[in-house]
């Protein structure tokens, strides 16, 4: 794995820690909420570049990001056995997010609300999140993968 993908990971983390995302949160934000935001951003990112680039590069980015997530979970203090279970859960969650964002442009507003609510159940202001992710997708469409590398 190459360190050149660190910029993408750091940008995703920066987007995930945007305080405006947590405006509609009904309770204190948790590691899980931040992780879901990270995974949604990452899903939109991969979805945007999947047809324009070498699959190997995207696979390397995928592997790098999940390795970094694993390292972050280790830093929190989880043991080896629980890390494996957590990573399996997070990867499964990510793949279900990927499935949903794949058709994002074709979803109606109510379908987008349902999708966001599925993954972020602690949020009551989903309209803001839908608008945010629509803008994020537009921003991604204006850039190339090399811009992020």
Percent of the chain with pLDDT over 90: 54
Lowest mean pLDDT among 5-14, 52-61, 96-105: 52-61
Written as six digits, the tokens of 127 are: 């309209």
pLDDT of residue 93: 95
Burial of 80 (0-12, 13-18, 19+ CB in 10 A): exposed
Nearest to 50 by CA among 140, 132, 139, 134: 140
pLDDT of residue 75: 85
- The per-residue pLDDT for range 103-128, each reduced to its tens digit, is 999 999 999 999 998 998 877 778 88
Q: What's the rounded mean pLDDT across residues 65-73? A: 91
Confidence class for position 2, pLDDT limits 50, 70, 90 = low
CB 75 within 8 A of CB 20: no
Strand partners, 81: none
pLDDT of residue 124: 78
Q: Is the pLDDT of residue 1 over 60?
A: no
Q: Is the pLDDT of residue 138 over 60?
A: yes
- The per-residue pLDDT for range 5-35, each reduced to its tens digit, is 999 999 999 999 888 888 777 767 778 888 9
| Helix 31-49 / helix 80-101 crossing angle, nearest 10 deg | 50
Q: Give how far Cα 32 sits from Cα of 7, 60, 75, Å.
A: 22, 24, 15
């Amino acid at each position: 794995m190459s360190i050149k993908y660190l910029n993408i990971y750091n940008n995703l983390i920066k987007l995930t820690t945007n305080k405006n995302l947590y405006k509609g949160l009904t309770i204190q934000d948790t590691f899980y909420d931040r992780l879901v935001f990270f995974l949604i951003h990452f899903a939109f990112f991969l979805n945007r570049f999947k047809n324009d680039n070498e699959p190997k590069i995207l696979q390397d980015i995928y592997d790098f990001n999940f390795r970094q997530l694993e390292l972050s979970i280790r830093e929190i203090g989880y043991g080896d056995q629980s890390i494996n279970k957590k990573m399996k859960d997070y990867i499964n969650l990510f793949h279900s997010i990927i499935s949903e964002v794949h058709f994002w442009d074709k979803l109606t507003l109510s379908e987008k609300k349902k999708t966001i609510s599925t993954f972020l159940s602690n949020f009551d202001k989903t309209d803001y999140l839908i608008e945010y992710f629509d803008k994020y997708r537009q921003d991604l469409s204006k850039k190339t993968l090399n811009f992020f590398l």
